[in-house]
Amino acid sequence: MDVSKIGQIGGFQNIQGINNPAKNMKPPSEKTSFVDSVKKGMESVQKTQADADDKIKESLSGKETDLSEVMISALKAEVSMQLTLQVRNKALDAYQEITRMPI
């Protein structure tokens, strides 16, 4: 019985980097503070909401727009806002927990 190869299995050479993940990681080009990260995240949420508002206004003004794109942008804005609220709630919970700790 002759069994021939089904295909070339060449993906195993790429797995070698899994054993040493630090080798594959690139150092950050610049250090950012926590405040800068939060500010950047809030700006991203604000931009997502502004894009959704623009698409909704275009749709309501009678311009030819794809309704699915309008709905997707509105849902993206809603999800990003919900994520922001949940992160805020977790941060407040952590702060309150820290303030309750005895010294």
Domain residue extents for the chain: 30-99
Does residue 21 carry a pLDDT above 80?
no
Q: Please compute, for residue 17, the number of CA atoms within 13 A of its CA located in the half-sphere on the CB side.
A: 7
Q: Which of 80, 47, 43 is nearest to 55 (CA)?
A: 47
Q: How far apart are the C-alpha atoms of 77 and 83, rounded to whole Å?
A: 10
Neighbours of 55 (CB within 10 A): 21
Q: Would you say 56 and 75 are in contact if contact means Cβ atoms under 8 Å apart?
A: no
Q: Give pLDDT tens digits for 32-77.
A: 788 898 899 999 999 999 999 999 999 999 888 889 999 999 999 9
pTM of the model: 0.62
If you average pLDDT over each of 11-15, 20-24, 65-69, which comes out highest? 65-69
Q: Mean pLDDT, the chain, as a whole number?
A: 82
Does residue 6 carry a pLDDT above 60?
no
Q: How far apart are the C-alpha atoms of 21 and 33, rounded to whole Å?
A: 24
By three-state DSSP, how is residue 57 classified? helix
